[in-house]
């Protein structure tokens, strides 16, 4: 464990000390995508034949697909042949080159947030699986978890050490043919995290993955798979940061969760990928497919997300409520400032009887930001007694931004109860004046009011994440006030 920690610290402090683009010598695939690149990725990772076949099947299917255009976001077409699909840091890293590459503002921002790998790792009881570019560099606390039978490792390691589990569950929630970006991910995914909690085990600590996009022009294609066996419990935290780049970078991840009878999975994300600059240049394109399956009766899956980064966010973490009496939850804060665009929401698919879902979405738009909630609640024929409650609240700051809500409801069982509430509000002059009369400056009052608006969602986050998320909201709003 201590060597793993030392390794994380070494890599992370290097990254921050010498600028956000760490000069890790990359072991990269040639630019572009074809079957040879996929074979190369698979070979680099020493994968079994079945996995290569799965990748190739996905790739061939992807070639027949078209990029979706229904979402309420606008961007220049992505040249998929101009992306490097595999980049791994070499184990021995040479010295850094220069600080000048990095925008001091960005480093200042990360300083303000006080988040770094080293700090995350120091948080008591949090196990970190650090993903720098495409390869999981080190996994901490692995041994402690192993004592109770929890497997927590990089996806690549899981393929090597637990191929039967990976083979059983990979693609079982998000099939390789699911959608354009998930299919691309299935073909080229490089690494990610894997977690397996055996029957009856309550995972003794919060698990955390910390992603970073580091090398230039590297698409990042993570794949995360979490399985909770009967009666198991796990809480998983995912944090994302990325360095500043002038070119937009593609991030197309897939997360699959499987909860068997009476199992519970909580999955929390705080996403602050680089959002682009104040003029809307640069930033991450975040096209992510996240889905959980409540496969067993009385199982429960909760998604909590705080999305403040990325130039474009396209994600709909959903739950397939297959087991009777299973529960799906989605708590979301999405903030768009400057020229950021977000089209995000959830899908709750009720299949089992007496299944319940809760959706609570808080969208904040500032500057020229465009914020769209898009949600699907589907009650299948057999879902007797299913219930859903949806609440979508939007907060507008300024007059140039936009908030949009697209709720889709499909009900095929007459016993279902589906409720939808929506509101749109502004921070009022009265609220601001009240704060200022009490001595609180406007630039402090606005983040306070925004945090208040998000409180119901933030309280779903584990403590240390909630604190980070609050700071993040404040930082993201800087320059949008007044």
Partner 1 sequence: MLDIKNLHAGVEGREILRGITLRIEAGEVHAIMGPNGSGKSTLAQVLAGVDTYQVSGQVLYDGQDLLAMTPEERAVAGIFLAFQYPVEIPGVGNLYFLRTALNAVRKQRGLEELDAMDFLELAKERMALVEMDPSFMNRSVNVDFSGGEKKRNEIFQMAILEPRLAILDETDSGLDIDALRTVAAGVNALRSKDRALLVITHYQRLLDYIVPDRVHVMANGRIEQSGDKDLALQLEKHGYGSYEQAAMGPGAKT
Residue 141 binds partner 1 (CB under 8 A): no
Least distance (Å) between residue 307 CB and partner 1: 18
Token pair 């990610």: residue: 192
Query: Whole-angstrom Cα distance, residue 180 to residue 50?
Result: 22
Beta strands in 214-317 (DSSP E): 223-228, 233-241, 249-251, 254-259, 264-272, 284-294, 300-307, 312-315
Q: Which is nearer to partner 1, 333 or 348 (CB)?
A: 333
Length of the chain: 482
DSSP state for residue 164 in the 8-state scheme: H
Residue 456 binds partner 1 (CB under 8 A): yes
Bridge partners of 318, per DSSP, are: 291
Bridge partners of 87, per DSSP, are: 28
Least distance (Å) between residue 357 CB and partner 1: 23
Least distance (Å) between residue 441 CB and partner 1: 5
Tell me the window of 90-98, 344-352, 380-388, 443-451 that interacts with partner 1 (CB under 8 A).
Answer: 443-451
Q: Which is nearer to partner 1, 270 or 435 (CB)?
A: 435
Residue 482 binds partner 1 (CB under 8 A): no
Site for partner 1 in 204-243 (CB under 8 A): none
DSSP state for residue 398 in the 8-state scheme: S
Bridge partners of 191, per DSSP, are: 222
Least distance (Å) between residue 455 CB and partner 1: 4
Q: Which is nearer to partner 1, 383 or 454 (CB)?
A: 454
Structure-block tokens of residue 134: 């495409």
Q: Which of 455, 463, 467, 479 binds partner 1 (CB under 8 A)?
A: 455
Residue 358 binds partner 1 (CB under 8 A): no
Q: Which is nearer to partner 1, 139 or 305 (CB)?
A: 305
Least distance (Å) between residue 266 CB and partner 1: 22
Q: Which of 162, 198, 444, 475 binds partner 1 (CB under 8 A)?
A: 444
Query: Whole-angstrom Cα distance, residue 100 to residue 90?
Result: 23
Count of residues that bind partner 1 according to CB under 8 A: 22
Q: Which is nearer to partner 1, 24 or 366 (CB)?
A: 366
Q: Which is nearer to partner 1, 97 or 436 (CB)?
A: 436
Least distance (Å) between residue 397 CB and partner 1: 15
Least distance (Å) between residue 448 CB and partner 1: 6
Print the SS3 string covering 106-157: HHHHHHHHCCCHHHHHHCCCEEEEEEECCEEEEECCHHHHHHCCCEEEEHHH
Site for partner 1 in 296-355 (CB under 8 A): none
CA angle 15, 19, 23 (to 5 degrees): 60
Question: In the chain, how long is the greatest CA-to-CA distance?
Answer: 68
- In Å, what is the CA distance from 342 to each residue of 52, 101, 148, 240? 34, 28, 40, 16
- In Å, what is the CA distance from 187 to each residue of 52, 58, 68? 9, 5, 18
Q: Which is nearer to partner 1, 77 or 439 (CB)?
A: 439
Least distance (Å) between residue 436 CB and partner 1: 4
Q: Which is nearer to partner 1, 295 or 469 (CB)?
A: 469
Residue 448 binds partner 1 (CB under 8 A): yes
Residue 439 binds partner 1 (CB under 8 A): yes
DSSP state for residue 80 in the 8-state scheme: G
Backbone dihedral angles phi then psi of residue 431, each to the nearest 5 degrees: -60, -45
Binding mask 399-438 for partner 1 (x = CB under 8 A): -----------------------------x-xx-xxxxxx
Q: Which is nearer to partner 1, 417 or 428 (CB)?
A: 428
Query: Whole-angstrom Cα distance, residue 328 to residue 348?
Result: 7
Q: Which is nearer to partner 1, 66 or 438 (CB)?
A: 438
Residue 441 binds partner 1 (CB under 8 A): yes
**Bridge-based pairing state of the strands 300-307 and 254-259:** unpaired
Print the SS3 string covering 216-242: CCECECEEEEEEECCCCEEEEEEEEEC
Q: Which is nearer to partner 1, 412 or 436 (CB)?
A: 436
Residues that bind partner 1 (CB under 8 A): 428, 430-431, 433-442, 444, 448-449, 451-456
């Amino acid at each position: 464990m201590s060597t793993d920690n030392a390794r994380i610290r070494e890599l992370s402090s290097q990254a921050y000390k010498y600028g956000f683009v760490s000069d890790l010598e990359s072991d990269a695939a040639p630019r572009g995508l074809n079957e040879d690149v996929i074979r190369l990725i698979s070979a680099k990772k020493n994968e079994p034949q079945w996995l290569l076949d799965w990748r190739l099947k996905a790739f061939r299917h992807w070639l027949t697909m078209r990029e979706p255009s229904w979402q309420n976001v606008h961007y220049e077409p992505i040249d998929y042949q101009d992306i490097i699909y595999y980049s791994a840091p070499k184990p021995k890293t040479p010295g850094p080159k220069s600080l000048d590459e990095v925008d001091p503002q960005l480093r200042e921002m990360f300083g303000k947030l006080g988040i770094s790998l080293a700090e995350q790792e120091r948080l008591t009881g949090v196990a970190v699986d650090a993903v720098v570019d495409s390869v999981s560099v080190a996994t901490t606390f692995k041994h402690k978890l192993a004592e109770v039978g929890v497997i927590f490792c990089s996806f690549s390691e899981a393929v090597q050490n637990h191929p039967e589990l990976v083979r059983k569950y990979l693609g079982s929630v998000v099939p390789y043919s699911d959608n354009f970006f998930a299919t691309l991910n299935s073909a080229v995914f490089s690494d990610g995290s894997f977690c397996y909690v055996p029957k009856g085990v309550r995972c003794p600590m919060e698990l955390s993955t910390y992603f970073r996009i580091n090398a230039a022009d590297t698409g990042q294609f993570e794949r995360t798979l979490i399985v909770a066996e009967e009666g198991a419990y796990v809480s998983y935290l995912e944090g994302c940061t990325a360095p500043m780049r002038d070119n937009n970078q593609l991030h197309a991840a897939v997360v699959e969760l499987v909860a068997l009878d009476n199992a519970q999975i909580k999955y929390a994300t705080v996403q602050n990928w680089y959002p682009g600059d104040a003029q809307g240049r640069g930033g991450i394109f975040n096209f992510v497919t996240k889905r959980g399956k409540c496969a067993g009766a009385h199982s429960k899956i909760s998604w909590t997300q705080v999305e403040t980064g990325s130039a474009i966010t396209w994600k709909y973490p959903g739950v397939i409520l297959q087991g009777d009496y299973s529960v799906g939850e989605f708590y979301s804060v999405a903030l768009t400032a400057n020229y950021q665009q977000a089209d995000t929401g959830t899908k709750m698919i009720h299949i089992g009887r007496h299944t319940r879902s809760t959706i609570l979405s808080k969208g904040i738009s500032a500057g020229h930001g465009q914020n769209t909630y898009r949600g699907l609640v589907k009650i299948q024929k057999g879902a007797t007694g299913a219930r859903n409650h949806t609440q979508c609240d939007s907060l507008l700051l300024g007059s140039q931004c936009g908030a949009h809500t697209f709720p889709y409801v499909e009900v095929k069982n007459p016993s279902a109860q589906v409720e939808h509430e929506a509101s749109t509000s502004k921070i009022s002059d009265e609220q601001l004046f009240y704060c200022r009369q009490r001595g609180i400056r406007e630039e402090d009052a606005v983040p306070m009011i925004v945090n208040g608006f998000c409180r119901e969602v933030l309280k779903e986050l584990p403590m240390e994440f909630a604190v980070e998320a609050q700071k993040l909201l404040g930082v993201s709003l800087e320059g949008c006030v007044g």
